[in-house]
Amino acid sequence: MWDPSTYLRYSDERSRPFHDLLARVGAERPRAVVDLGCGPGTLTVGLAERWPGSRITGLDSSPEMIGRAAALAAPVTFAVGDARDWRPAPDVDVLVANAVLQWVPGHRELLTRWAVELPPDAWLAFQVPGNFAAPSHRALREVAGRDRWRQPLAGLLREAPVGEPVDYATLLTGAGCAVDAWETTYVHLLPVAGADHPVLTWMEGTALRPVRAALDAAGWADFRAELGARLAEAYPVRQGQVCFPFRRIFVVARTGARAEENP
């Protein structure tokens, strides 16, 4: 289950990649714009502000997230739905998926399908975290691999759920798109507030969700204490804050003209 309030704790840091991604989307008057995995909808609203004449839809598989988004009362249609079942209508000129495809196994096949099903000259823009080899995730996998948790957490934490920028560029170029792919490492400076290490607080909003759901209350309390100790070693507190480098991968693809339209 996604908790919108926990997710929004670092909304400034989490929203910046969305803006950096959208800055490379050059659509002027898209007919329809879809934000897949829109979460609490706060960023989707920005799409409606940028393209006020467009039909904007936000889709997310979490009813809790869509409940929060619908309460924004914005000119956006929010609906519960799974990205894997979604198919573009013929007028979807912009498709955005920010920080969602790492949760969707088989997303490479979806990307290829969308590249083919979107209309010509449409924009397909997505961003995924590229930090699965970072100390935070290594610590998470290490603690999860200990005897006590190996069985309840079996299969929950994938080592490499996303590709590299070159993989996505190759995939989408092969599907007939013009591709702009890059990566950025943000150095987040997270203030210490309260007893918990701030990287632990950050991870509770995203990567730790499935772990929490799989453990009972006592197990979760012990797991989080052990992980917190590991994170405190990996990300030491200096001047009341920690440096939390976070690599992200960005892709903006523009679909090509269809062969049947250019005989």
Ligand X SMILES: C[S@@+](CC[C@H](N)C(=O)[O-])C[C@H]1O[C@@H](n2cnc3c(N)ncnc32)[C@H](O)[C@@H]1O
Site for ligand X, rule CB under 6 A: 2, 14, 18, 37-39, 43, 60-62, 65, 82-84, 98-100, 103-104, 206
**CA dist., res. 43 & res. 60, Å (int):** 13
Torsion over CA of 36, 42, 44 and 48, rounded to 10 degrees? 160
Q: Among all residues, whose Cβ is closest to ligand X?
A: 39
CB of 68 to ligand X, least distance (A): 9
Contact between residue 31 and residue 93 where contact means Cβ atoms under 8 Å apart: yes
Is the Cβ of residue 48 or residue 256 nearer to ligand X in the bound state?
48
Identify the CA nearest to 165 among candidates 137, 184, 187, 186: 184
Is the Cβ of residue 61 or residue 136 nearer to ligand X in the bound state?
61
Q: How far is CA 78 from its chain centroid? A: 17
Token readout for 160 is 């490499």
Is the Cβ of residue 18 or residue 149 nearer to ligand X in the bound state?
18
* Inter-CA distances, 172 with 112, 113, 137, 252, 253, Å: 7, 10, 28, 10, 7
CB of 37 to ligand X, least distance (A): 3
CA-based angle 110:57:114, to the nearest 5?
20
Residue 189 neighbours by CB under 8 Å, 6+ apart: 241, 242, 243, 244
Is the Cβ of residue 69 or residue 256 nearer to ligand X in the bound state?
69
Is the Cβ of residue 18 or residue 168 nearer to ligand X in the bound state?
18
CB of 123 to ligand X, least distance (A): 16
- Pairing assessment for the beta strands 241-254 and 178-191 based on DSSP bridges: antiparallel
CB of 143 to ligand X, least distance (A): 21
CB of 168 to ligand X, least distance (A): 17
CB of 205 to ligand X, least distance (A): 8
CB of 166 to ligand X, least distance (A): 23
Angle between helices 135-144 and 217-234 (to 10 degrees): 140
Is the Cβ of residue 5 or residue 221 nearer to ligand X in the bound state?
5
Is the Cβ of residue 198 or residue 256 nearer to ligand X in the bound state?
198
Token readout for 37 is 């995995």
